[in-house]
Amino acid sequence: MKISRRNAIVVMAGAPALLLPRKSLAQGAIPEIEKGPFDGTKKGLEAYQIPEWFRDAKFGIWAHWGPQSAAEDGDWYARNIYIQGSPQYKDHVARFGHPSKFGHKDICKIWTADKFDPDHLMQLYKKAGAKYFMSMGVHHDNFDLWDSKHQPKWNAVAMGRKRTSSVCGKRPRGSKA
């Protein structure tokens, strides 16, 4: 079998993953995932029935909101502040200093959302015609927006807001969610 340069690169790129343990000691035990309504097969998915209220809802709102909002500088903030030369890096350095001294973990601490008014938001969403609301549970930075037992120190109850970041289960009236 002839190995091309492309195939060699693919093999070498996967090699470090083979050398690393499946989990580090710092991760501890991987929690068992509770069995849900799907069995992971095409037949199981085909058997699922979309709830009638959702089929008829037509319009809902999803909030993409979390600690990255504190800096008010766009999405992927937690990543881009560490990429020298990126616009978010430059803005972060100008406003907060170098990310090695004031990084994303510090942004999470200043995310207090003291003017967050979920009741007002739900009224606006309802007025806009929303029939359901979905809140983000965790962003790509792995910061859990609830009192997480999997991230006991890296969540919205342990730092920043010091409370859950959802709208407390509230939804526009008339929705079946």
| Same-domain check for residues 96 and 62 | no
pLDDT of residue 41: 87
| Same-domain check for residues 86 and 147 | no
Q: In 3-state terms, what secondary structure has residue 122?
A: helix
Task: Please tell me the total count of domains within the chain.
Answer: 2
CA-to-CA distance for 34 and 148, rounded, in angstroms? 16
pLDDT of residue 26: 45
| Same-domain check for residues 135 and 56 | yes
Whether residue 129 is predicted with pLDDT greater than 50 in this model: the reply is yes
Q: What is the DSSP string of 11-72?
A: HHHHHHHHHS-SS-GGG-SPPPPPP-S--SSHHHHHT----HHHHHH--EEEE--SGGGTTT
| Same-domain check for residues 140 and 170 | yes
| Same-domain check for residues 119 and 174 | yes
| Same-domain check for residues 121 and 172 | yes
| Same-domain check for residues 150 and 78 | no
Q: Which two tokens stand for residue 147?
A: 């009192």
Domain hosting 159: range is 50-66+112-177
In contact, 132 and 177? CB cutoff 8 Å: yes
What pLDDT, in 10s, does the model give residues 141-175?
888 888 888 889 988 888 877 776 554 433 333 43
| Same-domain check for residues 87 and 130 | no
Structural domain contains residue 25:
no
Q: What is the mean pLDDT of residues 7-30?
A: 50
- Return the C-alpha torsion angle 99, 102, 105, 108, nearest 10: -120
pLDDT of residue 142: 87
The neighbouring-strand residues paired with 132 are 60
Q: What is the mean pLDDT of residues 125-133?
A: 93
Q: What is the mean pLDDT of residues 97-106?
A: 95
What pLDDT, in 10s, does the model give residues 35-72?
777 777 888 888 888 888 888 898 999 988 888 888 88
Amino acid identity at 81:
I
- In the block, tokens 């690169």 appear at 9
Mean pLDDT of all residues belonging to the chain: 78
